[in-house]
Structure 1
Amino acid sequence: MSEQKRLFFGIELPRESRQSIIQWRAETFAAEAGRPVAAENLHLTLAFLGEISEERSLMLQHSAGRIRQPAFTLTLDDAGHWPRSGVVWLGPKRAPRGLLQLAELLRSQAARSGCPQSTLPFHPHVTLLRNASQPVALPPRNFSWPFRVSRFALYHSSYSQGRTRYSEVAHWPLEQP
């Protein structure tokens, strides 16, 4: 049996946006609000696959390579706190149709390939803080990070020496208009 890897499809944030968000987060949230997600790990998950074999990973990569969809602009201009999961997040007030379609395609392919998907509606977000179990004061909605999404990727999530790291396994372009 092949080694299982923890994988997910996602969108990487541009370097400039990540740096700006990290600075904003440090200025906005108190240190005790939660554990900050490392700058290099900021991303938007499209479909979580879980622990899967290399064979299943290759099958999903092949399916992802057949997706033909236009690039789109994503604006991170909303924030929230999910106390039950302890997550403080950043996301779009209105998700672009292209983002919702891409996530739905990937989640459907994953489910058909034996990777169960959440029954909850897709809520596009970037996790800013974890372990935020106490109420968190959310900032006024006067922030905005727009960026062009021209690709999506498959990531491997690994945990070692007390740190989670995400490494890109493969990526696919979105069609330019």
Structure 2
Amino acid sequence: MRAFVALLPPPEVIDQLTSFLEPRRDALAALDTHPRWRWTRPEHLHLTLAFLPELDEWREEELEEEGMRWAARVAPLTLRLAGAGAFPDPGAARVLWAAVREEPEVEEPRLGSWASATRALASRVGARVDGTRFSPHVTVARAAGRPGLAGHLLQSLDTLHTDPWIAEEVCLIRSYLGQGPRGTPRYEVLQTWPVGD
């Protein structure tokens, strides 16, 4: 199965983000621009710590146990959404994202260590783990078709700044490709791992 380990922003932060995006999305829809963007549904907004393109179902229980033990040993983080960016770059954007920042800003961010730890424990239980370099973000849109210029749009998105929230749980989420509305994925939270219990 396809799965990922993620942090889910609380509803009030999702509301702030969607309220921020709505006028920008509506303005783009009125223009004939390239690329066209498929905006992430609010219930799909998350910060991926570890993407597991292949997790055998029989390994799920072991991963859940390891995840619970790991989460109990770490302290909660205070995070906020602030700023934006594009992958692979603004000149050939395929993905638009909101940046995730730790509060207060620290020289040695712990969020990266959370990503490393969750990837390592998933690998230890035999899951295939995506090795893409960790960049703390929440995907807000994907190009529908070819990539394109996103510089002007990013200037508008870069003013994003939500209230902070405390990340007190980590989720193991299963992804069912094409089973959501209009062929989007459907996500199912398999387990939550309380942080610092």
Q: TM-score, normalised by structure 1?
A: 0.86
Q: Is the deviation greater in 158-167 or in 99-108?
A: 158-167
Match of 2:97 among 89, 104, 122: 89
Match of 1:124 among 119, 136, 142: 136
CA distance in 2, matches of 1:40, 1:119: 25
CA distance in 2, matches of 1:147, 1:155: 20
Question: Aligned partner of 2:22: which letter?
Answer: A
Q: CA RMSD in A?
A: 2.2
Q: Say yes or no: does 1:64 pair with 2:72.
A: no
CA distance in 2, matches of 1:48, 1:26: 28
What is aligned with 1:101? 113
CA distance in 2, matches of 1:118, 1:52: 11
CA distance in 2, matches of 1:74, 1:58: 29
What is aligned with 2:196? 175
SS in structure 2 of the partner of residue 34 of structure 1: strand
By how many angstroms is 1:101 displaced? 1.9
Is the 1:78–1:93 contact (alpha carbons within 8 Å) kept by the matching residues of 2?
Answer: no
What is aligned with 2:38? 35
CA distance in 2, matches of 1:55, 1:18: 33
Name whichever structure is richer in strand by fraction.
1
Residue deviations 1:61-119 (CA, integer Å, cap 9, x gap): 11101111000101211200114671100113567633222111101112233334344
Question: Aligned partner of 1:126: which letter?
Answer: V
What is aligned with 2:170? 152
Shift in CA distance, 106/140, structure 1 to aligned 2, threshold 3 Å: closer
In the alignment, structure 2 segments of 5+ residues that lack a partner are none
- Report how many residues are paired: 172
What is aligned with 2:2? 6
What is aligned with 1:135? 149
In the alignment, structure 1 segments of 5+ residues that lack a partner are none
Q: Is the deviation greater in 79-88 or in 51-60?
A: 79-88
Is the 1:69–1:98 contact (alpha carbons within 8 Å) kept by the matching residues of 2?
Answer: no
Is the 2:55–2:128 contact (alpha carbons within 8 Å) kept by the matching residues of 1?
Answer: no
Residue deviations 1:8-62 (CA, integer Å, cap 9, x gap): 1001111111111112112234235410011100000010111322111111111
Identity, in percent, stands at 30
By how many angstroms is 1:149 displaced? 0.6
Q: TM-score, normalised by structure 2?
A: 0.78
